[in-house]
Structure 1
Amino acid sequence: MCSMRNYNQPELLITGIGITSAIGQGKTAFVSALMQGQHAFGVMQRPGRQKGTSFLGAEIPSLVFSDRLSKQLLRTASFCGQVAMNTLNEAWEEAKLDDIDPGRIGLVIGGSNLQQRTLVKTYETYAERTQFIRPAYGIYFMDTDLCGICTEQFGIQGFAYTVGGASASGQMAIIQAAQALQTGQIDICIALGALMDLSYWECQALRALGAMGTDRYANEPANACRPFDKNRDGFIYGESCGAVVIERADSAMRRHVSPYAKISGWAVGMDKNRNPNPSYEGEVQVIKKALEHAQLSAKDIDYINPHGTGSVIGDEIELKAIRDCALSHAYINATKSITGHGLSAAGTVEVIATLLQMKETRLHPSRNLQEPIHPLFNWVQGQSVLHAIENALSLSMGFGGINTSICLKRV
């Protein structure tokens, strides 16, 4: 179990965010859609995502790119790379990073095997004429291409790498960034939960695993995504990407930037399990370790943003872990009920959703939470709720037995 006591450690603040999702591009559009419970679910249309199938999901509409982004980089980047550049740009500008020494800025990208749809389209295009494949394929088939694109665009020279944690990747990126800041490797670190661009191959396999819905709501996309509801039957995919800028409090003070919140604690733990089934013991351990790291008791947590995918087994296990950690009093809603499951991006997107709710002093509703599997929790159901979050807990889990937890504190 990996956690770190924060005695004599610098305070870490989040000073910029960027978000791209199917419900809104940019934090203003995103938080507006969240609070209203607006969704974008339907039969997915992006080329390479269906093959005689009708998988449900939420896809990002046409991107509006910032003028500062290199047109050449955008032209040669995959869809995943384009979204990463644009999302990072929003966080970069809000945190006012243009005047920072580029050697003191780091980048951690959460996700692996990110560009599957792009790769499938390449295979299909050049299957009978491999000698004509674009040389650029030698670069973009690797996830590190996102590091190259982003560091070239923004001049980052500290470090850049990807970290794979399946659906916990986005939150793992935040934790890795925080740990790099604590060791003094850099002064500012950006954590980016990258868009996982699924092809029909991954959709079919996830559907066959029983992880991805839906049988029950195949003809009712608006009703299909329903975390923690008795009628859930698996997750519904949602394209998304999120970026957060993290820095030490002394740096933020010198630069006169206003923080969203303090990262007060975190934990990572493994279940010793290759398979996708969740572990009650693993989830309990990361919750307790994160609270210990943050020097908080269970009663101090007043809001939880759970993993909450709509998994038949996973939702049950997560609620049991929350209950047995004495957290049933805290407000809970399900961000994925509105955005869909962004897989590698999910952990970062949900931290951003928590930060925006903290800023708005309002909690977003949960879509389709009509019959909670355990009604005695403090659910936010069909309507938003006024609430000033003081201490939030964000949970994110991934295939392969990965459990992560982050505590966020109002500043």
Structure 2
Amino acid sequence: MKRVVITGAGTVNALGLTVPDTLEAMREGRCGIGQLAFQDVERLSIQIGAQVHEFDETAHFNRQQLSLYDRFTQFTLIAAREALAQAGLEFSGELAAKSGVVLGNSGGGMTTLDENYRSVYEEGKNRVHPFVVPKLMNNAAASHVSMEFNLKGPSFTVSTACASSNHAMSQAFQMVHGGLAPVMITGGSESMLCFGGVKAWEGLRVMSKDACRPFSANRNGMVQGEGAGVFVFEDYDHARKRGAEILAEVVGFAMTSDASDIVMPSKNGAARAIAGALHDAKLNPQDVGYINAHGTGTAANDKTECAAVADVFGAHADRLMISSTKSMHGHCIGGTGAIELLACIMALRDGVIAPTIGYEEPDPECALDVVPNEAREAKVDVALSNAFAFGGLNSVLALRGV
């Protein structure tokens, strides 16, 4: 089996339009959540989110491309360009034939959908653009990445709600680990911050009107975000042979299903995913120094996740650092696990643990070291990234420093 390393990373999110900007914001504990800006936002009960502002799509894409690229695809392509520029890879010949792309996405082209429903139902138009379907389909981003970078190997999209990115990256890991592909482009993206997207989430009554405060006793719900995270997963020998910079090693993963409830999380399902990732990576609980939590800021998720961590790690749970960066960049749904993987890489490479900002009151049901409000310097050899989705679908990735 092949060792799998990360040789490139890219992102677009509310904290920054590049990886360096995002990591700087995480180190500073900066909040990317603010007032939403789009048509009819005043009709919503929830008017905050981690929206990507100061984003000029025309600086990156021409008019013909914009007719094909929904906002989630735009984010993905920009992040992929950053990741591949860092990796220093170009795809041709056998490398192109075997390399592919697996991305996570939950809602597809929600902005395109919203705009065209408005056009037909509100404005009474009888025609829509001929490229509406290829623009809004969930696999649009993966397809355009494959076309832009000449990736002719296995390419597809994984859609498992909030675990989409972690499931996608797990699949990419398997493909490189098993020798199916020497390189896989992977991660995920989401852009649901439009009127219809936020209105749908309002109906669940899990949204906060003021802030995302994971693990804090006075937390009152999640906050939506948007963005993309894209990575280059590469065969270690292939990367070493060409002298590539290695950001981290992916050493294991696990996926489980709660098989119990469509929205309520299960401690047992989460614990089995965490323990499974440790087993797959041949790690002991005491090897882990940091966990990037799913940490949505809802009462149900946070206490369930903390209970699962306590079950798996036992006495070592008190020595773990566990933080939720959703407090800064919001819950980016299908793209959230990919953006959060950046915090794991920062912990392993730079020895900086991203904080859980907005933490105000200790909760006895979340009695772990949640790195409250300020980043922390600490040496970490192994990090986990948790993702637990509606539908009871769980995915955990294990990373090691190099």
Question: Where does residue 401 of structure 1 map in the other structure?
Answer: 392
Which of 297, 314, 319 is residue 306 of structure 2 equivalent to? Answer: 319
Aligned to 2:108: 114
Aligned partner of residue 323 in structure 1, secondary structure? helix
Deviations 1:358-392 (A, max 9, x none): 22211122211122324642231122211121011
How far 1:405 moved relative to its partner? 0.9
Corresponding residue for 1:381?
372
Deviation at 1:200, TM superposition (A): 2.8
TM-score (norm 1): 0.91
- What residue is the counterpart of 2:266 in the other structure? 279
Is the contact between residue 177 and residue 190 of structure 1 (CA under 8 Å) also seen in structure 2?
Answer: yes
Deviation of 1:330 (Å): 0.8
1:350 aligned onto 2:340: yes
SS of the equivalent of 2:203 reads helix
Contact 2:106 2:333 (C-alpha < 8 Å) held by counterparts: no
Alignment correspondent of 2:181:
186
> Which residue does 1:244 correspond to in 2?
231
Instruction: In structure 2, give the amino acid aligned to 1:207.
Output: E
1:332 has 2:322 as partner: yes
Q: What is the alpha-carbon distance in structure 1 between the residues aligned to residue 130 and residue 12 of structure 2?
A: 29
Q: What is the rounded CA distance, in whole Å, between the counterparts of 1:270 and 1:48 in structure 2?
A: 38
Q: Deviations over 1:320-369 (max 9, x none)?
A: 11111123321112111111110111111111221123222111222111
Q: Structure 1's 206 and 69: CA in aligned 2 closer, same or farther, altered over 3 A?
A: closer
1:191–1:243 CA contact under 8 A, matched in 2: yes
Native 8 Å contact 2:4 2:235 kept in 1: yes
Three-state SS of the structure 2 residue aligned to 1:392 is strand
Q: Once the 2 structures are TM-superposed, how far is the Cα of residue 182 of structure 1 from its aligned partner?
A: 2.7
Give the 3-state SS of the residue equivalent to 2:185 in structure 1. strand
TM-aligned CA distance change 1:180 to 1:256, over 3 Å? same
| Deviation larger for 272-281 or 374-383 | 374-383
Alignment CA distance shift 1:34-1:80 (3 Å): same
Aligned position for 2:241: 254
> In the alignment, is residue 200 of structure 1 matched against residue 195 of structure 2?
yes
Deviates more, 1:254-263 or 1:47-56: 47-56
Structure 2 residues not aligned, in runs of 5+:
none
Which AA in structure 2 matches 1:40?
G
In the alignment, what sits opposite 1:291? 278
Letter in 2 for 1:141: L
1:362 equivalenced with 2:349 (yes/no): no
Cα distance, 1:36–1:213 mapped onto 2, change above 3 Å: same
Per the alignment, in what secondary structure is the counterpart of residue 43 of structure 2?
A: coil
What does residue 99 of structure 2 align with?
105
**How far apart, CA to CA, are the structure 1 residues paired with 2:30 and 2:222?**
18
Q: How does 1:4-403 map to 2 (within 5 A)?
A: 9-47=1-39, 51-63=43-55, 72-99=64-91, 101-127=95-121, 131-214=126-209, 217=210, 224-326=211-313, 327-374=317-364, 376-403=367-394
How far does residue 53 in structure 1 lie from its aligned partner after superposition? Answer: 4.1
Amino acid at match of 2:397: I
> Distance between the aligned counterparts of 1:368 and 1:185, measured in 2?
43
C-alpha displacement of 1:160: 1.5
Q: How many residue pairs were aligned?
A: 395
CA contact (8 A) 1:92 1:245 kept: yes
Quick one: structure 1 residues 316 and 351, their matched pair in 2 at CA, closer, same or farther if it must change by over 3 Å?
A: same
What is the one-letter code of the residue matched to 2:128?
I
Distance verdict in 2 for CA 1:141–1:75, change over 3 Å: closer
Kept in 1: contact 2:2–2:178 (CA 8 A): no
Residue pair 1:69, 1:86 contacting (<8 A) in 2 also: no
Deviation larger for 140-149 or 196-205: 196-205
Following the alignment from structure 2 to structure 1, what is the Cα–Cα distance between the partners of residues 78 and 349? 23
Q: CA deviation at 1:291?
A: 0.6
Per-residue CA distance 1:222-241 (angstroms, 9 max, x = gap): xx110000011110111121
Q: Which amino acid aligns with 1:45?
A: A
Amino acid of the residue matched to residue 76 of structure 1?
Answer: L
| Change in CA separation of 1:106 and 1:132 when aligned onto 2, cut-off 3 Å | same
Q: Deviations over 1:27-77 (max 9, x none)?
A: 111011111111122221133666354421111012257988666324531
The whole-number CA distance in structure 1 between the counterparts of 2:401 and 2:133 is: 45
Q: Would the aligned equivalents of 1:69 and 1:85 in 2 still touch at CA under 8 Å?
A: no
- Residue type of the alignment partner of 1:342: C
Would the alpha carbon gap of residues 343 and 138 (structure 1) be closer, same or farther in structure 2, given more than 3 Å must change? closer
CA offsets 1:5-48 (integer angstroms, 9 cap, x no match):
xxxx2111011100111111101110111111111222211336
Structure 1's unaligned 5+ residue stretches are: 1-8, 218-223
Tell me how far apart the structure 2 counterparts of residues 131 and 63 of structure 1 sit (CA, whole Å): 31
TM-score, length-scaled by structure 2: 0.93
Cα RMSD, aligned residues only: 2.0
Q: Following TM superposition, by how much is the alpha carbon of 1:105 offset from its aligned partner in structure 2, in angstroms? A: 1.6
